[in-house]
Amino acid sequence: MKRILIVTGQSGSGKSSALQVLEDLGYYCIDNLPLALLPEIVAKLDLENNLEQLALGVDVRSTRANLQEFDQVFEQLQGHGSVDIIYLTAQDQELITRFSASRRPHPLASRFKSLHQCIQEEKVLLMPIQLRSTVHIDTTDKSVHDLKHTLLSKLGQTDKLIVILQSFGYKYGIPLDADYVFDIRHLPNPHWDLSLRKYSGLDEPVQQFLEQHEQTNEMFQDIYQFLNKWLPAFAEGHRHYMTISIGCTGGQHRSVYMVDRLKKALEAQWSIQVLHREMKHWS
């Protein structure tokens, strides 16, 4: 795991909105787990998943003892990647206004008579985490849109559209999560060449076979030009993800080749994620 973000702060300051922004940026987000369990959960995720970005929501619902032992938790998390803490706050009157508008109780409402008392106690409880925060954001005058751009700026990330290029095999069904599906089953099939059957579209022998056919190059150009023309429009429309699925019969040769070639052509301009859905079926 490369980057871990701990997202915390005063209730009503925008923690849930911040986690939604991070999820849109490709972070795997977990919210409202007891603080003491975080090292164990992160260790398990690090072992079983190839996660590069993890965001952990922490709030005052953790016990006082757990919050006071935050330094130990922080040091344990550092064993799994770089750790940054995003601390969100807002002026007291703004928090009171937000709670009044939402009509939701403060997490400490069962312990204190007034909302003002809840807010003051929460500041004290979260102090061990606030002192370690690396990103501090005052959301008093910020809309959700403003918060998003502040996070992008402070984290050194851009608001780029994430393009997911997915290869698949029609015999296993069309992906339900696709925004666009391109059928390339009409291209010459390396499967029928016994010397190529064991390879995938990532291997040079298959690539050479496909590129000797003009149909392959024409199909690539048509898909590339379509994406090159329309992806900017989707990005301007504040889309965060676009899933482009390329299908052949078995999802091993032609579609894999096309996804790999499109990735190389588009990655200079867009944030690209690649998924070869049928990899488990490759011979």
- Residue 254 corresponds to which tokens in the numbers above? 């032609």
57 a known binding residue?
Answer: no
14 a known binding residue?
Answer: yes
The residue type at 58: V
Residues 252 and 199 in one domain: yes
Question: Stretch 220-229: mean pLDDT, rounded?
Answer: 97
Place of tokens 């790999």: 260
Residues 110 and 212 in one domain: no
- Taking the alpha carbons of 101, 102, 104, 105 in that order, is the dihedral positive or negative? negative
Residues 129 and 179 in one domain: no
Residues 147 and 166 in one domain: no
15 a known binding residue?
Answer: yes
CB atoms within 10 A of CB 44: 10
100 a known binding residue?
Answer: no
- Residues 138-189 pLDDT 10s: 898 888 888 887 887 677 665 678 898 999 999 998 987 789 999 999 999 9
114 a known binding residue?
Answer: no
Give the residue from 132, 154, 176 where a domain finishes.
154
153 a known binding residue?
Answer: no
Give the whole-angstrom CA distance, residue 98 versus residue 153. 25
The total number of structural domains in the chain stands at 2
Whole-prediction pTM: 0.57
Give the whole-angstrom CA distance, residue 11 versus residue 26. 24
135 a known binding residue?
Answer: no
CATH number for the domain harbouring residue 150: 3.40.50.300
CB atoms within 10 A of CB 216: 20
Give the residue from 109, 135, 154 where a domain finishes.
154
Residues 21 and 140 in one domain: yes
Domain extent, residue 84, equals: 3-154
- Residues 54-81 pLDDT 10s: 999 988 877 777 788 888 988 999 888 8
Residues 198 and 150 in one domain: no
Give the residue from 154, 176, 204 where a domain finishes.
154
Residues 247 and 266 in one domain: yes
Give the whole-angstrom CA distance, residue 3 versus residue 240. 20
